[in-house]
Amino acid sequence: MKYPKIRELKEAIVSLLTPAYTSKFPAEPHVPFEKFRGKPSVDDENCVGCETCANVCPSHAITFTDDKEKGIRTIIRDYGKCIFCGQCEEHCITKKGVILSDKIYDMAVFDRSKSIEYQEKELLICQSCNAIITTREHLHFMHRKLGPKAFSSILNLNILNQKLRLAEGQDVSVEIKDGLKRKDMFNIICPNCLRVILVKYLSKGV
Ligand code: SF4
Ligand code: SF4
């Protein structure tokens, strides 16, 4: 019994004289190691609201709600549910929309609602069937990626017309009623409605 007591005493003295291995958080901010994955940090300028990160997030920390009335998509990021897996960063289509920061690491909050972030993006909604096409920024991003090839799509051409104000005077908020006509292919319509027009009119050479 004598020797174990001496060993315990030695360990107590050594630990008294050795600096602590643990950090003093929250008294002092935690400094993570280099390349350590911290809180996902969103760059709204480079996020196009495409939904990809929500689809790959394993803990459902990222969700979306679409309000057709207001034409707004709200992206909700609840970092209280985040497990820092990095899937959102890895699969982000712009590669810059969200990055796991090694600087922002202090996420301790008393009120859980404070760990939730919101973003809003304008939706593109079909003027005929009211289906959600995507966000306007997502379509512009695809234009930039595809270059001139983007204009093989009539929807892309119509969006570009709006952007360049070539379609001035055309009210794109008007709902298409009384069935799709040939001229409606120059409105903002979803691929399903465009297909209906193409089958109905163009395939017959009308
Ligand atoms: S790091 Fe992982 S868990 Fe956290 S928001 Fe991104 S995908 Fe979701
Ligand atoms: S994948 Fe990237 S661009 Fe798309 S919504 Fe997420 S952060 Fe934004």
Whole-prediction pTM: 0.77
Give the residue, out of 47, 55, 76, 84, with the most ligand 1 atoms within 8 A of its beta carbon, to mutate for a pocket test.
84
CA of 146 to the centre of ligand 2 (A): 18
C-alpha dist (Å) from residue 127 to 66, 81, 118, 174: 16, 37, 27, 7
Return the pLDDT at 46.
97
Angstrom distance (rounded) from CA 11 to CA 1: 16
Return the pLDDT at 141.
92
Return the pLDDT at 95.
95
Angstrom distance (rounded) from CA 18 to CA 196: 76
Long-range CB pairs of 196-205 (<8 Å, 24+ gap) are none
Return the pLDDT at 173.
58
The answer to whether 74 touches 65, Cβ cutoff 8 Å, is yes
- For ligand 2, atom 7, the nearest C-alpha belongs to 97
Domains observed in the chain: 32-125 (3.30.70.3270), 126-206 (no CATH)
The answer to whether 29 touches 103, Cβ cutoff 8 Å, is no
State phi, psi for 65 to the nearest 5 degrees: -130, 135
Which ligand 2 atom minimizes the distance to the CA of 52? 1
Return the pLDDT at 40.
92
Return the pLDDT at 31.
76
Question: pLDDT of the chain along its 206 residues, tens only?
Answer: 566 688 899 999 999 999 887 878 778 877 777 778 888 999 999 999 999 999 999 999 999 999 999 999 999 999 999 999 999 999 999 999 999 987 767 788 889 999 999 999 999 898 888 899 999 999 889 888 888 887 777 676 666 666 655 455 555 556 666 777 777 777 788 888 888 888 877 766 55
Report the pocket of ligand 2 as residue ranges, CB < 6 Å: 47-53, 92-94, 97-98
Report the pocket of ligand 1 as residue ranges, CB < 6 Å: 40, 57, 59, 61-62, 82-88
Return the pLDDT at 152.
72
Strand, coil or helix: 19: coil
What is the CB neighbour count within 10 angstroms for residue 79?
A: 18
The bound ligand whose nearest atom lies closest to the alpha carbon of 57 is 1
